Amino acid sequence: MRFFIDTADVAEIADLAASGLVDGVTTNPSLVAKTGRNFLEVVREICELVPGPVSAEVTAVHYEGMLAEGRKLAKLAPNVCVKLPLTWDGLKACKALSSEGTQVNVTLCFSAGQALLAAKAGATFVSPFVGRLDDIGHEGMQLISDIVEIFRNYPDTIRTEVLVASVRTPNHVIEAARLGAHVATLPPKVLRDLVQHPLTDKGLAAFLKDWEKTGQRIL
């Protein structure tokens, strides 16, 4: 499973990318607004830090505007993945941009039917939002299970990857991997939380205490 980082914070991305565990980045207008920085500059900088896909979202809501913005974003770097909302115009723009060879991430997916349409429109990724579904009392992971199952039924025609978004906890990531989702985009805190286990900390402290008693050094 590939891990993308869900943030527009360049310093945070640089820090996490140094681990070698980051396969891509997703941003959205809300994440960009949090930085207070110029969107195009931020996208350029992220694309230099991470070789994998960097999702940059259009803000136009009509087809022509989405197409124009998408083409401009795609020119920023070869690893830009244009993010389009799952609307009728977004799907049309997805079809057009993907036909031109641009990577597209169709975002704000909340149903399996929407995911099927994104796949038919040639999306590179479709982003179902698990956390926001959980927030309204639905089962976000059931949507991932449904989409993965449906896509697997059409291995010859559906190439779209399931990008699990709106991830809130390490359990979301584990469950998404169990279900066979291709990618999860993780807020930095969730990636850091994945490494934590109290027994790891306790075990390490005990090993180091015993090692001290030997009076030895490796270096």
Which residue numbers are catalytic? 83
- In terms of CB distance, is 191 or 210 closer to ligand E4P? 191
Contacting ligand E4P (CB under 6 A), which of 132, 134, 182, 194? 132
* By the rule CB under 6 A, 131 interacts with ligand E4P: yes
| Options 61-69, 72-80, 109-117, 127-135: segment touching ligand E4P (CB under 6 A) | 127-135
Q: What is the dihedral of CA 165, 119, 40, 24, to 10 degrees?
A: 50
Q: How far is the CB of 82 from ligand E4P (least distance, A)?
A: 12
> Does residue 185 touch ligand E4P according to CB under 6 A?
yes
Question: Minimum CB separation from ligand E4P for residue 61, in Å?
Answer: 16
C-beta closer to ligand E4P: residue 110 or 129: 129
Q: Are 68 and 91 within 8 A, CB to CB?
A: no
Which residue among 7, 114, 127, 160 contacts ligand E4P (CB under 6 A)? 127
Residue carrying the six token digits 């990318």: 17
Angle at 14 between CA 11 and CA 16, to 5 degrees: 110
80-109 residues in contact with ligand E4P (CB under 6 A) are 107
Close Cβ partners of 185 (under 8 Å, ≥ 6 residues apart): 3, 4, 5, 6, 24, 26, 127, 163, 164, 165, 167
Give the whole-angstrom CA distance, residue 23 versus residue 135: 27
Which residue's CB is nearer to ligand E4P, number 108 or number 121?
Answer: 108
The closest residue (CB) to ligand E4P is 166
Closest distance to ligand E4P from the beta carbon of 186 (Å): 9
Q: In angstroms, how far apart are the furthest CA atoms of the chain?
A: 71
Give the integer Cα–Cα distance in Å for 147 and 154. Answer: 11
Among 26, 114, 124, 160, binds ligand E4P (CB under 6 A): 26
In the complex with ligand E4P, the residue whose CB is nearer, 34 or 202, is 34
Distance linking the first and last C-alpha atoms of the chain: 36
- CA torsion 111→86→30→138, rounded to 10°? -10
* Residue (121 or 167) nearer to ligand E4P, CB: 167
Secondary structure element (H or E) that encloses residue 205, with its range: helix 198-214
Which residues of the shown chain bind ligand E4P in the complex (CB under 6 A)? 6, 26, 28, 107, 127, 129, 131-132, 165-166, 185
